[in-house]
Amino acid sequence: MNTQTDAYYPGYEIDPGISSYWERRLETEFIGRPGQHLCEIGRPGTGKTQGLYYLVDKIMEAGREQILWFDIGKGDEILTLPHYFGPTTIFTPPGCEVAIQYRDPLDAFGRPYDIEFKTISRMADVWQNIQPGRINICSFDPFILDPGIILEQVSDLFERLIRLAFRRQVIRPLAIVYDEFHNVCPAHGYGFASTPKEAAIQRRALNIIKRNVQKLRVEEYRMIVTAHEWQQLYKGVRTAFEWVMIRRGAKFGGDEPKLKQYNPRWAGCPTEQCYIALPTRDHSAPLALPYYEDGARLGRVVYRGLLE
């Protein structure tokens, strides 16, 4: 458990009794039930990555699930994971390297860092290489400049997951953490496919995920993702997220009438707070989240190499 989980941001009056009630519901109805999916919505700079750390912390505390985090190369954010959550394995493509430079050789608990590096030939190979009892980080995205290659890798990734998961060949229960998931499953008009070939690959990935994301829930594979806006996610995929973590600037459309009526409330949500929307789309009181040291304050990540 993170040593700072009780060190909430000061300056915001939140009833601790109500806050504890909603946290308990999150722990029992979401964390305690592997396979439940959650999407965190908020504009850039609203603390979504902090929300992901918080959820990983809760899952690690429960002690049932393995963690697979997809590194999209946003600064030094992956440094926070081994700092708070212990032994970590980082997967990279051939000829590519993640160089980690910590300012302090000891983690949040005063222990030396335990970080392993493993090479896998393609992103989809990560499913059968997940290390039990460790934070698993798949770091492919930072080494790929060509959107077409990203699309091929991601399409292959989820097709392989579906094939292996239903044959019980992937470790479970498993929490899959994917930041900026709207790049993987974009709604119409939000994708970055620029050629007919790329568009076809993206449609294929969308159809695979849309058809099977709820089946993953039954097999105890949980997806925790973020997006800038609800409408940015492909409709056939976003409806699969039973739980929503709402941050400042979140907007909902006509397919979420209960949440849409509170768009003005979400617009004013402080960075240090969030709301939790349940599968019924009732929502919590505002929750103050703990602060996890930002990776840029802990050290530096250098990505070396390029996947052609």
Task: Answer whether 296's CB lies under 8 Å from 78's CB.
Answer: no
Is residue 155 over pLDDT 70? yes
Examine residue 254 and state whether it is found in any structural domain, yes or no.
no
On the question of pLDDT at 3 being above 60, the answer is no
Q: Considering the entire predicted model, what is its pTM?
A: 0.92
The pLDDT value recorded for residue 18 is 73
251 located within any domain: no
Q: Is residue 101 part of a domain?
A: yes
- Average pLDDT of the residues of the chain: 90
State the pLDDT at residue 9. Answer: 33
Instruction: State which residues form the domain around 218.
Output: 34-236
pLDDT at 254: 93
173 contacts 66 by C-beta, under 8 angstroms: yes
> For the chain, what is the domain count?
1
Query: So what's the pLDDT on residue 20?
Result: 86
DSSP-based three-state secondary structure for 59? helix
Averaged pLDDT, 109-115: 96
Lowest mean pLDDT among 214-218, 226-230, 262-266: 214-218
CATH number of the domain bearing residue 195? 3.40.50.300
Decide if pLDDT at 1 tops 60.
no
Burial 185-219 (b: 16+ CB within 10 A, else e): bbbeebbebeeeebeebbebbbebbbebbeebbeb
Report yes or no on 298 lying in a domain.
no
Per-residue model confidence (pLDDT) at position 205? 80
- Report yes or no on 73 lying in a domain: yes
Q: Is the pLDDT of residue 150 over 70?
A: yes
User: Considering the domain boundaries, does residue 3 fall inside one?
Assistant: no
> pLDDT tens, 197-206?
877 877 888 8
pLDDT digits (tens, 9 = 90+) for 64-101: 899 999 999 988 999 999 999 999 999 999 999 999 99
Confirm whether 294 is domain-assigned.
no
* Better-predicted residue by pLDDT, 196 or 268: 268
Domain-located, residue 297: no
Between 168 and 7, the more confident residue is: 168
Phi and psi torsions of 141, nearest 5°? -50, -40
Share of the chain above pLDDT 90, in %: 70
